[in-house]
Structure 1
Amino acid sequence: MTKPFQFSASDVYIEKRETVFQGFFRMDKLWLTHPRFDGQEMPVFTRELFIRGDATCVLPYDPVREEVVLLEQFRLGALGRAQSPWLLELVAGMNEDGESPEEVAQREGQEEAGLTFSKLEKICDYLVSPGGTTEMIHLFYGQISAESAGGLFGIEHEHEDIRAHVVSADDAIAMIHDGRINNAAAIIALQWLELNRSRLRREANQ
């Protein structure tokens, strides 16, 4: 059996590329081809690609109080479904040029929740929807004290309206199991917390 990853980016030939929309984000149209698994060459085909920069997301967790901070805000992409378009999410923001993901994490922690992370631990990097967008998420656990957390936040000129909720870790994990939390970054981070919770509590008490 052939092992995975026999091809690389150098096997993709882009015949033509043009920008079809440029706003806050960009949309490109590509004409491309690449080898097939059967040894033949794929005929030239077209795809639209949503050009969106990388982002950083952080799960704020207090391992002493066993509480997480989750942010509630309106999300346009959730309209038209059988749920509220106000979602419970992680601290998150777009990576600016020259910023490390860790710097983005600390900046967004302050802007969106009034939080400073005493420790940041990488959970993973993942591609959001690679069939159509370039975005990669850099996902972290951020250690906090939740004692005085919570409240209203957001940058007004960016039309942000954010309520930070302090939730027990048990309740947050329950919300991914019953579907009340259904966005990828929060699901991945809370499942990671479920696996690593004992270690984080132990390390915090050393």
Structure 2
Amino acid sequence: MSELDVRILDKKCRFQGFFTIEEYQVSHKLFNGGMSKVLNREIFERGDAVAVIPYDPVRNSLIVVEQFRVGAIRTQTNPWLIEFIAGMFSDNESPVDVAVREAKEEANIVLEPDKMRHIMTYLSSPGGTSEQLHLYAAPVDARNVGGVFGLEEEGEDIKVHEIGLNDALALINDGTINNAMTIIGIQWLALNYSQLQSHWADNDKTKS
């Protein structure tokens, strides 16, 4: 992208709280030539996030968390959503740092950074927010995983579940799992779980 493709004529902060709303006046190149009219667009700035798929390659199961989400009140009869472990960046953190921290805080599981695999980075909803989500997979031993965790000072009340991959797909199909991050991660895992199993098994043989 260059200044010839997109022209930002003005940018103002319209709200500054836990999140930020910026108002842009912008013009962009048209497919048929020339430039668009000046567009006013408000963008929700929340920073980038990291999500992790904790996958047990032996049990072919994954760890998910269940928690209350205020954004689901308007459209859902049940605002307690099943999701992957996820969190926002703090200062000077890498995506792997975020995943390791959030896994401990939300599910009391310890991830090994050198075994984590980057799956993809995608834009959550680019029509309204600049947020990117970095998705990772990490091997875990899902035996004896469970309980209720989260940081009390952040109002977190997070229940941990182990579910089989086939059961997770069924929960997508019946609408129980209905948030994009988790749907994308489970569908990716369904297509690639055998590759992950082989990758981690080969790594373990190399180290032994």
Structure-1-length-normalised TM-score: 0.92
Which residue number corresponds to residue 171 of structure 2? 175
Equivalent in 72, 84, 89 of residue 95 of structure 1 = 89
Which residue number corresponds to residue 166 of structure 1? 162
Q: Does 1:33 align with 2:54?
A: no
How many angstroms does 1:82 deviate by? 4.0
Structure-2-length-normalised TM-score: 0.91
Which residue number corresponds to residue 119 of structure 2? 123
Distance in 1 of aligned mates of 2:39 and 2:105:
43
Q: Which runs of 5+ in 2 are unaligned?
A: 203-208
1:43-62 mapped onto 2 (5 Å cutoff): 43-62=37-56
Aligned alpha-carbon RMSD (Å): 1.3
Distance in 2 of aligned mates of 1:202 and 1:72:
29
Percent identity for Structure 1 against Structure 2: 46
Give the counterpart letter for 1:126 in structure 2: Y
Distance in 2 of aligned mates of 1:128 and 1:204:
29
Equivalent in 18, 22, 28 of residue 24 of structure 1 = 18
User: What are the superposed Cα offsets for residues 165-191 of structure 1, whole Å, 9 maximum, x if unpaired?
Assistant: 111122112111222111111111111
Which residue number corresponds to residue 70 of structure 2? 76
Q: How many residues align?
A: 199
Which residue number corresponds to residue 79 of structure 2? 85
Describe the SS at the equivalent of 1:146. Answer: coil
Distance in 2 of aligned mates of 1:9 and 1:173:
42
Which runs of 4 or more aligned residues in structure 1 lie more than 2 Å from their structure 2 counterparts after TM superposition? 199-206
Give the counterpart letter for 2:99 in structure 1: A
Question: Per the alignment, do residues 9 and 23 of structure 1 end up closer, same or farther by CA in structure 2, a change over 3 Å counting?
Answer: farther
Which residue number corresponds to residue 206 of structure 2? none
How many angstroms does 1:203 deviate by? 4.0
Distance in 1 of aligned mates of 2:2 and 2:156:
37
Distance in 1 of aligned mates of 2:101 and 2:116:
13
Give the counterpart letter for 1:100 in structure 2: S
